[in-house]
Amino acid sequence: MRDAFGAVQSVLVLGGTSEIARVTVAKMVRDGHTSRVILGVRRPDEMADAIAEIERVGATDVSAVAFDALDPEAHVAMIDGLFGEGRDIDVVILAFGVLGDQETFESDPVAAAQAASTNYAGAVSAGLAAARGLRAQGHGSLVVLSSVAGERARRSNFVYGSSKAGLDAFAQGLGDSLVGSGVDVLIVRPGFVHSKMTAGMDPAPMSTTPDVVADAIIDGLAHRRRIVWVPGPLRFVFSGMRHLPTPLWRRVSADA
The CATH number linked to 74 is 3.40.50.720
| HEC string for 93-132 | EECCCCCCCHHHHHHCHHHHHHHHHHHHHHHHHHHHHHHH
81-130 pLDDT, tens digit per residue, is 999 988 899 999 999 999 999 999 999 999 999 999 999 999 999 999 99
How many folded domains does the chain comprise?
A: 1
User: In 3D, which of 232, 248, 130 has the Cα closest to residue 184?
Assistant: 130
Is residue 2 assigned to a domain? no
Judging by DSSP bridges, how do beta strands 61-66 and 91-94 pair with one another? unpaired
Is residue 133 assigned to a domain? yes
From the number of C-beta atoms within 10 Å of its C-beta (0-12, 13-18, 19+), residue 164 rates as buried
Q: What is the pTM of this model?
A: 0.91
Q: Which of 73-87, 157-171, 182-196 has the lowest mean pLDDT?
A: 182-196
The catalytic position among 67, 96, 120, 160 is 160
Domain residues for the domain of 92 are: 10-255
In terms of residues, how long is the chain? 256
Is residue 214 assigned to a domain? yes
CA-derived radius of gyration, the chain: 18
pLDDT of the residue at 256:
52
Are 40 and 9 contacting, i.e. CB atoms less than 8 angstroms apart? no
CA distance 246 to 249: 5
Is residue 212 assigned to a domain? yes
Are 90 and 9 contacting, i.e. CB atoms less than 8 angstroms apart? yes
User: In 3D, which of 95, 112, 116, 94 has the Cα closest to residue 103?
Assistant: 112
CA distance 171 to 166: 9
Q: Is 203 left (phi over 0), alpha (psi -120 to 50) or beta?
A: beta
Please determine, for residue 200, whether its predicted confidence score (pLDDT) is greater than 70: no
Please determine, for residue 252, whether its predicted confidence score (pLDDT) is greater than 90: no
Mean of the per-residue pLDDT values for the chain? 90
Is residue 3 assigned to a domain? no
120 is catalytic: no
Is residue 4 assigned to a domain? no
Q: What are phi and psi of 67, to 5 degrees?
A: -150, 125
Is residue 236 assigned to a domain? yes
Label residue 254 by pLDDT band (50, 70, 90).
Answer: low
Is residue 5 assigned to a domain? no
